[in-house]
């Protein structure tokens, strides 16, 4: 027996399949997916529209449970940890539709997320940390004190990114986070993701159609016909 015990990956999908049932139709979106996501790594998941990318993220982030198979975080099954607890303490998600609290300002969206998840900045107040993160994604003070419904799609997307960054968690999921952004703003976000993975050791998993993002990730995964495969790059 090997004396060295391998550390379990931050997130493992073991033989995961998922089927949606609606009226008489059943759609199997994911089929027998096995994959281990590691810390310190920036992943891009590509795939045609309707291939199940959002479904995969909702299972991996504990929003839903797979029809078959198991998902584990550092070797513990998500159902054992508790899906609510897992979502609250260990993952942050940037949703395709942003899911911002529409009766609040951009700044309040970020500070509220920090309060809910109990994220405490190393120095300074939550408000100061939130302002810093919002500035990092390119939003100035005048913009962030406006109600989010008064912001453009790209600005709302950046609020959603800042909110996810504010929750100091192990895994960051993002569903098309640069979809509404111009190339320069998108590059700033990609740089932030790379830094989170490479300097802070986070696991960053991003669903995207963007080649600009995919080419700068560490691993590119393709979802097609229910199967997840890793692209092998000759470097
Ligand atoms: N709640 C649901 N009930 C039934 N079918 C669903 C449900 N959610 C998604 N689907 C179906 O599952 C398939 C995968 O959907 P999903 O949203 O995961 O795709 P996607 O890869 O994220 O697509 P896009 O790139 O357009 O965002 C689609 O055929 C979709 O219609
Ligand atoms: Mg989707």
pLDDT confidence of residue 1: 45
d(CA 66, CA 56): 9
Phi-psi sector, 32: left (phi>0), alpha (psi -120 to 50), beta: left
- The one-character DSSP state at 119 is -
If one compares 125 and 96, the residue with the highest pLDDT of the two is 125
Which of ligand 1's atoms lies nearest the C-alpha of 47? 21
CATH of domain 39-65+84-230: 3.40.50.300
Residue of minimum CA distance from atom 13 in ligand 1: 50
Asked whether residue 235 carries a pLDDT value surpassing 60, the answer given is: no
Pairwise CA distance, residues 220 & 217, whole Å:
7
**Beta strands in 55-153, from DSSP E residues, in sequence order:** 68-73, 76-77, 91-94
pLDDT score recorded for residue 206 = 97
Sequence-distant (≥ 6) Cβ neighbours of residue 116 within 8 angstroms: 88
* Number of the ligand closest to the Cα of 222: 1
**Per-residue model confidence (pLDDT) at position 147:** 97
Tokens encoding 52: 């199940």
- Percent of the chain scored above 90 by pLDDT? 85
Please give the pLDDT value at position 168: 85
Give the confidence band of 5 by pLDDT, cuts at 50, 70, 90.
low
Q: How far is the CA of 64 from the centre of ligand 2 (A)?
A: 15
Confidence category of residue 6, pLDDT binned at 50, 70, 90: confident
Residue 210 Cβ < 6 Å to ligand 1: no
**DSSP code of 141?**
H
Instruction: Calculate mean pLDDT across residues 101-117.
Output: 96
Q: Are 12 and 71 in contact (CB under 8 A)?
A: yes
User: Does ligand 1 lie within 6 Å of residue 18's CB atom?
Assistant: no
- Choose between 232 and 90: higher pLDDT: 90
Residue 180: per-residue pLDDT: 86
* Average of per-residue pLDDT values in the chain: 93
Assess whether pLDDT exceeds 90 at residue 24. no
From the CA of 52, the nearest ligand is 1
Query: What's the average model confidence in pLDDT over 126-149?
Result: 96
Indicate the pLDDT class of residue 2, thresholds 50, 70 and 90.
very low
Within 10 Å of residue 54's Cβ, how many Cβ atoms? 18
On whether the CB atoms of residues 151 and 143 are closer than 8 A, the answer is yes
55 lines ligand 1 (CB under 6 A): yes
For residue 53, the CA-to-ligand 2 centroid distance in Å is: 5
Atom nearest to 56 CA in ligand 1: 18
Categorize the per-residue pLDDT at 234 as very low, low, confident or very high, splitting at 50, 70 and 90.
low
């Amino acid at each position: 027996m090997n004396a060295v015990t391998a550390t379990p990956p931050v997130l493992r999908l073991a033989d995961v399949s998922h089927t949606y049932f609606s009226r008489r139709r059943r759609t199997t979106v994911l089929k027998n997916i096995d994959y281990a996501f590691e810390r310190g790594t920036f992943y891009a998941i590509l795939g045609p529209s309707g291939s199940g990318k959002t479904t995969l993220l909702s299972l991996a982030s504990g929003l839903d449970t797979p029809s078959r198979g198991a998902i584990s975080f550092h070797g513990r099954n998500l159902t054992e940890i508790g899906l609510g607890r897992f979502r609250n303490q260990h993952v942050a998600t940037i949703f395709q539709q942003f899911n911002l609290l529409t009766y609040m300002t951009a700044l309040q969206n970020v500070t509220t997320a920090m309060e809910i998840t109990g994220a405490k900045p190393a120095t300074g107040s939550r408000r100061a940390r939130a302002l810093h993160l919002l500035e990092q994604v390119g939003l100035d003070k005048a913009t962030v004190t406006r109600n989010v419904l008064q912001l453009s799609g790209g600005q709302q997307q950046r609020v959603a990114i800042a909110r996810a960054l504010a929750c100091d968690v192990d895994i960051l999921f993002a569903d098309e986070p640069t979809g509404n952004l111009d190339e320069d703003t998108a590059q700033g976000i990609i740089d932030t993701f790379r830094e989170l993975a490479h300097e802070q050791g986070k696991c960053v998993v991003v669903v995207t159609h963007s080649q600009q993002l995919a080419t700068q990730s560490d691993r590119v995964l393709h979802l097609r016909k229910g199967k997840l495969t890793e692209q092998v790059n000759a470097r």
